[in-house]
Each structure stands twice: as structure tokens, then as C-alpha cells.
Structure 1
């Protein structure tokens, strides 16, 4: 007798939503760290200014990466087939991201060890790499998912990948990567403008406005490309939303503009791309008028809208296969067991509010403007 109070279909849908929440949480929380890192060599022009930006990130960046760990853990536990296919296929890309992220704590620790301009410049550029490269590759990965990933499943559901690292750098994927960079640079510029003073804040507003415009243009370009320039995927057979996971038990076809099918069936979904465009515009207006609350709201809404647009366009697909469309992974055939999803949901109900609560507390404690003077008063400053 099944004693689980939620049916299998509902749990699969909940975990698809939670995966989106975790990805958005990472982009909002750790995304500004990546954006600030990517802006560091350009917004800050001397050692004092760069120390201001480094100490802006220093107290919170480690906690922000919890969202990345949660996202990876959710994929591993809730969607094991997705984890196996994507992490093996994107292995070199993920290693590149990992190495770039490792540069960040190393740069924080080593930059101030020697008072030499060349030494510190090396670590400043390491922080730039640690911000720019992950932002770019995460966007490239999403672009490749929309294009379809060259993997297949054998009779025992073992994935095999037929691509390579440079094969990921397709034109649409690069546009997606640049959109990701522009989106996170806008978010980082908003935080710099809000929490610093003087020329650093002014430069951040300028770069942030450029990045917000780039976000609008690139997002619109990507939307046109998805609509008219690339094939999407459609499940043509009936899928059992309550049955065991078996990605090979369905039929899938491709067609130009197929990723728009969900918007035709559910017109309310147009809210997501509208938020992406409107949020970037609001961020631009806020940065132009030095209204940091407005710009922060705008950059956050832009992240929510852009990521939600990708997720809603793909649904129910998690990882389409360009080699064998029938092997594509969907929400209904790539999940863990019914019991596993339910136990994980119980753990999430307990721990996710705790993570949100301590994050909110840390940001409240660390609020305020970071200046060269405040750093000088802090013996623990970087």
C-alpha cells in the first residue's frame, strides 16, 4: 500500500520547480559575486579601490556558493540520469568552471601577502577569470541544452557522449554565454553602485548600464533565434507521468519553433520573457538615476525572467538529445524513485528555510557601504 501523501507526478513537478528555484537562487546570490569579479579590473583603477571590491565580496561569497552545491546535489539526487548524462558530456566545461572558481579563494588569500603591484595585478586578473569564465560557461551550457546535446542511451540506459569541449562553442551557445555574462555583470554593477562611493560607484553605474542594454539585445536576439532559427523538441507519444523512469519509452520529434509550444498552450508563460526584458530595462533606469533599490529589483527580476524563460521553453525536457531525440531526458522519465523524491522534499522543507534565514541574517549584519576608510578600521580586511 502506498503511504506517500503526494503522487509521483506531483513530486516530479515539485522537483522540477525546486531545481529552477535553486538555479535562480545561485544566479541571484552568487551571480553578483561573479559579476563583481568580472568588473574588478575595469571598475577599480588602483589598489585601494580594488580592495574595496574584494572586501565587498569577502564576507559572503562562500555562503553564496551554497546555492551551487544545492543545485548540483538536487540534480544528483532527484535527476540521476540528468546528472550522469550532463556531467559526463560537459566534463571538461565543468572542470574549467571548477578551476576558475578555485582561483577566487586563492586570490582572496594570496593577493595581500606581498605589497607588490605586479603580484596583486596577477591575482586581480585571477578574480576576473573566476567571475567571467563561470558566467560564460554556465550560459553556454544552457544554450547547448536548447540546441540539443549529442548523447545517446544504450539498452541499459547508460549514457554515451559524442561531442567535445570545442563542440559546445556553437554560435547560439556563445550568444547564450554572452547573455549570461551581461546579466550577471549588470547584477554585480548594481551591488557595487549600491555599496560603494565615489568614482567606483560611478564607473559601476556606467558599466552596469552598458551590460543592461547588452542583456536586452542579447535576450531578444536569442528569442528570435529560438523562434525562427533552430529546432526545438516535442514529445509525440503519450508519456506516463506516474510510471518508472525510462527515457527510451517515448517518441520525440524536432521542428523549428517547437520550443514555443508551451507559450501557445499556456499564454501566461509570456510573463517570464517579459520579466527578463522589463527587469533589464528597470535596472538600466535605476543605474542611470542612482536609484539602487530600483536597479537591484530590476537586475533580480531580469535573472528570474531569463532563467525562467529557458526552463519554461524546455519543459518537460531536461536534456534533449541531438543524436537520438527519443533518448532525451524529461521531467517524467529521468527522476529518482517516488520515495526518494518524497524524502528529499521533507529534508528540503526543513533545511531550505534555514539556509534562507541565515543568509538573510548575514546580509543584514554585513549591510552598509564599503569604503577604503572602513577597510582601514577592520583588522580582518583583505
Structure 2
């Protein structure tokens, strides 16, 4: 099969597409997680909590598609990365999935019984379903930057030498809290768009005003850790970006500060961290001047900037190894074959615009603020 795109280009395209899917997940399901994490704090009565729940009740299931697409893309485009990460981080993945399972159960069950204690328990389940994934996703990103404790033998079998508690280091906890602050800000931005004027909206704005500077400080703290800590990996020797997908053919070494190399070589990449810092400021400005669309736009830009910063700083690394840097997985040594990447790209070009068009149509149909009157008299509301 003659492939019209060279192997290096296809690898770069799929690396970028993986980033797009992660950003898509953060922008859509991220505000679901953030709103759920805010639920016990911005809503004090059952009626107020129903208001918050119904801001995400119509979209949360569709938003999770981006999570599934991201996992599927890693499986298909980077099979070795999928095998090592999903087996090594198995307990962390299970923790995330267990928390996410609480969301559909909480949405469906809380309204089945009018007992206040019953509903309160499910409200806290929804909080766990929002807070825990937001934290663990950030912790996972921190561990990727630190390097995962795995090695590959001569037959490319992976051996993971870490544990669940070992994932929670000072740096990974910092990135986990950054993820929480980032998504809480995004959730507050969504609630600002969807809630009717009133006390719940005011509390959402208050928590957004708190989350924004925290996100900035944690992002700067993470940047300082990367710049002056013992983080970073670098490729050495002759690199063939179009070479075979064999980790043993590329030599990687631990190199503190190397995560800044790409920004030094390509100054335009600095747009990503700048966006990550400006986004929360825009959100704070929107809260101050009561421009709800500006709040959501700012939180969205913060998500894009922070995630892009991580991806650009690591390229071409995808999953470095902390115990055996030579086993590190990169865009050049861990991808599927050239025909596979090309075939998947054709499928993506056909179906991704359809998904985006349908998503845009669905949001347009369901756009509008949730009001107290609606949830009081409409039996279809949660």
C-alpha cells in the first residue's frame, strides 16, 4: 500500500491529534468535573443543587466521548504507550473509573427518593466523581513529566516497578492540585453561563475568583520545579524520525532542565504557557465585569495553554522512564505502522468533523440558562 504521507509527518500529526483529543476532553468534560466538584459548596438547598446538576445533566454523557476517543487514539496510534501506561497505572486508572462510575449513578438515583439524606449522599458521590478524576489526571501528568518507573526487556516486554502511593510525590500533587484548580475554574465558568442570576451564580463566581489565582500560582510553581528541579529527558545520538518503532533504537537520558529545550529552540512555543497564565486573568476580568462568556472563554484558554505547555515541552517524548531512560517511549519509537496511521487519519478526517458538527448542534439546541421555575415544574429535570 503506497502511503502519500511520510512516516515522520504521520507521527507528528497523530501526536498533535492526541493533544487535540486531550484538550477536547478538558474543554468539555472538564467543566462537568469542575461543576460537580463545586456542587456541595455553591448549592446549599436541594433546589439549588438541582439547578447545578441540571446545568450539566444534558451534556455530561456526550462529553465523556472525548475521554473514550483519547484512550482509543492512544491504543491505535501508540500501542506500546497504551500497554505500558494502562498496565503500570492500573490502580490509578481503576480509581478514576470508580469515581467516574459514581456520576451516572448519582445523576440517575438522587432524584428517585425525596429523603434529604438520600439526596445528600448522592450529591457527595457526584462531588467525588468530579474531584477525584480531576486530581488523579493531574497527578498522572506530573508522573509523566517525572518519568514512569518502567523498563523494557530485549523482547519489549514492560515491567512496572512502582505502586499507587508512589505516584503521589510533591511535584505530582502540585500538578494534581493545578488540574483541580483549572477544572474548578472551568466549572465556575460554565455555571456562570448556565445559571440564572441569584445566590448560586454569585457563589460560583466567588469560587471562580478563588480558583483563578490559585491556578496561576500552581502553574508558575510547576514551571519553577521544571526549570530548577531534577526533571527532564533528552534524546542523544543520531535520531531517525522515520525509523522503525523500536525503543531500543533510540537512546534517551535523564537531563534536568531538558523540558525547557523546545521553548529555547522554538520561541513561538512560549505562546502556550503565556496562554495558560493569561486565561485565568481573563476569567477573573469576566467575573469582575459580570461578562459570563468572558469567564468561560478565559477558563477555556487556561485549559488549552496549560495542556499545550506540557505537550510542547515533552515533545517528542510521550512516556519517559525514570528507572531506565533508554526504555523511554517517544513519537519516533512507539507508534503504529505507517499504513495504520494513514488509514486512521483518513477515518478521523471523515468522522471527526461529524462529531464536532453534531456536538455543536447539540449545544446550540440545549443552550440557555437553567431556571428555578424549570426544575420546579418540569418532571424531566433531575
* Length-normalised TM-score, structure 2: 0.99
Runs of 4+ in 1 over 6 A off after TM superposition: none
CA displacement 1:246-301 (0-9 Å, x = unmatched)? 01112222222111000110011000000000001111111122111111111111
How far apart are 1:316 and its partner, in Å?
A: 0.4
Q: Is the 8 A contact 1:194 1:201 kept in 2?
A: no
Counterparts of 1:156 and 1:68 in 2: how far apart (Å)?
Answer: 31
The aligned counterpart of 1:114 is: 113
Q: Is the 8 A contact 1:34 1:130 kept in 2?
A: yes
The aligned counterpart of 2:32 is: 33
The aligned counterpart of 2:222 is: 222
Q: CA RMSD in A?
A: 0.8
Q: Is the 8 A contact 2:250 2:333 kept in 1?
A: no
The aligned counterpart of 1:373 is: 373
CA displacement 1:102-157 (0-9 Å, x = unmatched)? 00000011101111111100000000000000000000000000001000001111
The aligned counterpart of 1:260 is: 260
Counterparts of 1:140 and 1:356 in 2: how far apart (Å)?
Answer: 29
Counterparts of 2:194 and 2:208 in 1: how far apart (Å)?
Answer: 14
Counterparts of 1:237 and 1:334 in 2: how far apart (Å)?
Answer: 18
Counterparts of 2:143 and 2:319 in 1: how far apart (Å)?
Answer: 9
1:177 correspondence with 2:179: no
Counterpart mapping for 1:343-358 below 5 A: 343-358=343-358
The aligned counterpart of 1:150 is: 149
How far apart are 1:377 and its partner, in Å?
A: 3.5
The aligned counterpart of 1:186 is: 185
Q: Is the 8 A contact 2:269 2:312 kept in 1?
A: yes
CA displacement 1:4-56 (0-9 Å, x = unmatched)? 11011000000000000000000000000000000000000100000011111
CA displacement 1:323-369 (0-9 Å, x = unmatched)? 11011000000000001100100110011111111111111111111
Counterparts of 2:160 and 2:117 in 1: how far apart (Å)?
Answer: 43
Counterparts of 1:5 and 1:143 in 2: how far apart (Å)?
Answer: 37
Structure 1 gap ranges (5+): none
Counterparts of 2:70 and 2:231 in 1: how far apart (Å)?
Answer: 28
The aligned counterpart of 2:233 is: 233
SS in 2 for 1:72: helix
* Length-normalised TM-score, structure 1: 0.99
The aligned counterpart of 2:360 is: 360
How far apart are 1:231 and its partner, in Å?
A: 2.4
Counterparts of 1:379 and 1:120 in 2: how far apart (Å)?
Answer: 17
Counterparts of 2:108 and 2:65 in 1: how far apart (Å)?
Answer: 20
Q: Is the 8 A contact 1:147 1:231 kept in 2?
A: yes
Counterparts of 1:183 and 1:121 in 2: how far apart (Å)?
Answer: 26
Counterparts of 1:372 and 1:153 in 2: how far apart (Å)?
Answer: 57
The aligned counterpart of 1:23 is: 22
Counterpart mapping for 1:280-299 below 5 A: 280-299=280-299
Identify the range of structure 1 (215-224 vs 293-302) with the bigger mean alpha-carbon deviation. Answer: 293-302
The aligned counterpart of 1:99 is: 98
Structure 2 gap ranges (5+): none
Counterparts of 2:231 and 2:29 in 1: how far apart (Å)?
Answer: 32
Counterparts of 1:86 and 1:237 in 2: how far apart (Å)?
Answer: 26
